[in-house]
Amino acid sequence: MYYIAVTDTYGQIVTYDSDSKLNLLVDSNFHKNATDSDLYGVKIEGTTQILAENGVFVVDEATFSGNPGYNYSLKFETNGIDGSKPSNIAYMQSINSTSAVADFQVSVQLRECEVGEQFTDAGKCVLCGSDGTNSFFLEQMTAPGQCSICPEMANCTGGAAIGPQAGYWRRSNSTEVFI
């Protein structure tokens, strides 16, 4: 959950503002040079337009997804700042903003899928076994793949957690071969 406030020149929250809107966008220019940065789709899911409540935007129902291991830039735009006021025009010029609306950007670096996570065809990292299947994976996926089905002589509790059932053993924790 994130809180973003509309403030005045003195840093005070403009508490009478309950009409302004905040839009969440992916800055499409940020990752244009990375040839496969949008291979699996870059998107914001959930609520992407938020109404101010007493000068504060509460961002709590939005999820960002993109390619694991890539950097992206999220753009937040608001109509909550009057772009026609001389002081606001001067401020926008001082930060070299050419935007017609007040905006700011946040850089986001998505982590790689971890050992025990499936890299899905949609480009997301999902813990093996979290969908109710009895599955695991002992390596890091760097491309879409499938989790392995738990062997009959093993106990799999999700992710990379796999161990032998009573009466079986394996050579090391990095092997899925049980004897």
Give the model confidence (pLDDT) of 55-105 as tens digits.
999 999 998 888 888 888 888 999 888 878 888 888 888 877 777 677 788
Q: Count Cα neighbours of 7 within 13 Å in the Cβ-side half-sphere.
A: 7
Give the rounded percent of residues in the chain with a pLDDT score beyond 70: 93
Mean pLDDT of the chain: 88
How confident is the model at residue 121, as a pLDDT? 87
- pTM of the predicted model, to two decimals? 0.69
pLDDT digits (tens, 9 = 90+) for 120-141: 988 889 999 998 889 999 999 9
How far apart are alpha carbons 21 and 51 in whole angstroms?
Answer: 5
How confident is the model at residue 67, as a pLDDT? 85
2-109: CATH architecture: Sandwich (2.60)
- Angle at the Cα of 40 from the Cα atoms of 137 and 105, rounded to 5 degrees: 110
Looking at the chain, which residues constitute the CATH 2.60.40 domain(s)? Answer: 2-109
**Residues 24 and 46: beta-carbon distance below 8 Å:** no
Q: Which of 2-6, 25-29, 121-125 has the lowest mean pLDDT?
A: 25-29
